[in-house]
Structure 1
Amino acid sequence: MTSLEPTPAFDVSVERREATLVAAPAGELDLATAPQLIAALRSHDDYERLVIDLRSLSFMDSSGLRLLVAETDRASRGGYVLQLVRGGPEVGRLLRLTRLDEKLPFIDADAV
Structure 2
Amino acid sequence: MTSLEPNPLFCVAVERRGETLVATPSGELDVATVPQLAAALREHDGFARLLIDLRPLSFMDSSGLRLLVAEHDRAQRGGYELALVRGGAEVDRLLRVTRLDERLPLGEADALGL
2:67 aligned with 1:67: yes
Q: Indicate the RMSD between aligned Cα atoms, in angstroms.
A: 0.9
1:87 paired with 2:61, answer no
Tell me the CA shift for residue 8 of structure 1: 5.3
1:17 aligns with 2:14: no
* CA distance in 1: counterparts of 2:108 and 2:82, whole angstroms: 13
| Equivalences, count | 106
Distance of 2:55 and 2:24 partners within structure 1 = 8
Partner Cα separation in structure 2 for residue 32 and residue 60 of structure 1: 11
For the residue of structure 1 that corresponds to 2:35, the secondary structure is helix
Aligned sequence identity (%): 72
Show structure 1 runs of 4+ deviating over 4 A: none
**Which residue does 2:30 correspond to in 1?**
30
Residue of structure 2 in register with 1:54 after alignment: 54
For residues 36 and 45 of structure 1, what CA distance do their matches in structure 2 show?
Answer: 17
**Does the aligned pair in 2 maintain the 1:30–1:60 contact within 8 Å?**
yes
* Structure 2 unaligned blocks of 5 or more: 1-6
